[in-house]
Amino acid sequence: MPIIGTAYYWNSLYDNGIFFGYEGKTSGIKNLLFDSFVTSFFTVVPENKIVDKFYNLMEDINNKKQNNLAENQKLTELRDWLLPMLMNGQVKVGDGEDDVVVGMAAEYK
């Protein structure tokens, strides 16, 4: 099973509370009792064709997610650079495209 499919499966097990019964809690720290889990929890393993289809679908979704995260990071940096200048009047934004005024001190990296 490709790694991404395994990660989704393990997350699903955790989110649905399956691991809760296999956690050692005597010390106050949650420890997964892995040996107990793998010897008593059984699961259906799909055919490779289905796994590959899922992997290809999730790979596209994961790539879009990573691109969005990178874009969000760039937008956050731009906001953090621009907002102080808007607040102290170095930059003014009007109604039209030609109404944006930026002083020479404001150079984005």
Backbone φ and ψ for 43, nearest 5 degrees, come out as -140, 160
* All structural domains of the chain with their residue ranges: 1-45, 46-93
Give which of 80, 41, 56, 81 is closest to 4, Cα–Cα: 56
The CA-CA-CA angle for residues 73, 75, 80, to 5°, reads 95
Cα 3 to Cα 95: distance, rounded to the nearest angstrom: 50
Q: Which pair of structure tokens corresponds to residue 56?
A: 């290809």
Q: What is the pLDDT of residues 6-29, one digit of tens each?
A: 777 888 888 888 888 888 776 666
State pLDDT tens for residues 54-88. Answer: 889 889 999 999 999 999 999 999 999 999 988 89
